[in-house]
Amino acid sequence: MSTTLADWFATPTGRYLLAREQAWFDRTVADIFGFRAVQIGLPEFPFLAQSRIAARWTLDYNAPADIHADPHWLPIAENALDLVVLPHALEFTSDPHRLLREVHRAVRPEGQVVLAGFNPFSLYGAKRYFGQGETPPWDGNFIALYRVKDWLALLGFEVTGGGLDAYAPPFAQDKWLRRSAFMERAGDRWWPIAGGVYFLRATKKVVGMRVITPAWQQRRSALAAAPRQARECIERVQ
């Protein structure tokens, strides 16, 4: 029976990393608003759990995904999504460029993409390099952070947030992972580029497009700027 990335996340190393990734996704998606959101890949894990977007689905080739489809050919209309989450989707696809182009097509202007990837310039990358490449995640194509940023910029995305995490070595035993916890606290200060995973948050920008503010926001702005007597008149009219 072949091992999957989801299976690896059930190992001590995987559980350790999953907890840190889940915490980051939870914090990030909680303040992104809209109508429709999709998580592409790893449908076993609810990385959209804290999203305030009501209509949200997982998409992958097979169950337990809500939508069974090839991520390179999304069955989603153009400019239909407000948020796409990509947990390690780029390093485990045969064509990451194609996948990002499809995401760009499906995300609306000012919509957002949130992704996670394994950092090749880390202890995780070193373990992959020195002969651990037969099973997930070590058989994945770890893509450098700067390269993913370049791809996003070429498509018209603006990176608005992100970071690195998992500075502790990818030990296979829980006790050694616990003993290495101090490295997480020191990592951001002493070796900030060497986190085992990186996160990015990016917004789709369209040149020359003006975002239309909802009418209720326009009314609230008018009330805030008007003198007291004028506000009373506006409120009576509304």
pLDDT in tens, 121-130: 999 999 998 8
3-state helix, strand, coil in the chain (%, to 5): 40, 20, 40
Packing angle of the helix pair 215-225, 228-237 (nearest 10 deg): 150
Res 216: pLDDT: 45
pLDDT band at 13 (very low <50, low <70, confident <90, very high): very high
Whether residue 232 is predicted with pLDDT greater than 70 in this model: the reply is no
For the chain, what is the mean pLDDT? 88
Whether residue 19 is predicted with pLDDT greater than 90 in this model: the reply is yes
Percent of the chain at pLDDT above 90? 70
Segment 189-200 shows an average pLDDT of: 87
Res 213: pLDDT: 53
Q: What are phi and psi of 49, to 5 degrees?
A: -60, -35
What is the domain partition of the chain in residue ranges? 5-207, 210-238
Res 237: pLDDT: 42
CATH 3.40.50.150 assigned to 5-207: yes
- Tokens (6 digits) for 160: 């608005």
19 exposed, middle or buried (CB, 10 Å; 0-12, 13-18, 19+)? exposed
Whether residue 231 is predicted with pLDDT greater than 70 in this model: the reply is no
Segment 188-207 shows an average pLDDT of: 88
Which among 212, 27, 217, 38 has a CA at the least distance from the CA of 109?
212
pLDDT band at 211 (very low <50, low <70, confident <90, very high): low
Q: Where are the alpha helices (DSSP H) in the chain?
A: 5-8, 12-29, 96-106, 123-129, 145-155, 174-179, 182-190, 215-225, 228-237
- Tokens (6 digits) for 48: 């959209």
For the chain, counts of helices (H) and of strands (E): 9, 7
